[in-house]
């Protein structure tokens, strides 16, 4: 049975497994190691920026602010 915390926020092992799954997909599509590291780093940045806009942080989106500048 899943507890509430595991359904709302993945633990480190889940994040790592998900990241490796994305690496395998990109590698299988012929993307080089350096390119998929760059792409996954960007996706992680976007995910962290999104998390900052939700409770308990409730900060304005840094992505949206940079687009307006």
> Tens digits of per-residue pLDDT, 15-44?
889 888 888 888 899 988 888 888 888 888
Average pLDDT of every residue of the chain = 79
Question: How much helix, strand and coil, in percent to the nearest 5, is found in the chain?
Answer: 70, 0, 30
Tell me the pTM.
0.56
Q: How far is CA 28 from CA 21, 23, 32, 50, in A?
A: 11, 8, 10, 28
CA 23 to chain centre: 13
Tell me the average pLDDT across 46-53. 87
Q: How far apart are CA 28 and CA 22, in angstroms?
A: 10
Stronger pLDDT, 64 or 15, i.e. the higher one: 15
């Amino acid at each position: 049975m899943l507890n509430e915390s595991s359904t709302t926020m993945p633990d480190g092992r889940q994040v790592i497994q998900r990241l490796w799954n994305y690496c395998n997909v990109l590698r299988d599509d012929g993307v080089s190691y350096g390119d998929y590291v760059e792409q996954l780093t960007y996706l992680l940045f976007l995910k962290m920026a999104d998390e900052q806009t939700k409770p308990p942080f409730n900060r304005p989106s840094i992505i949206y602010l940079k687009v307006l500048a």
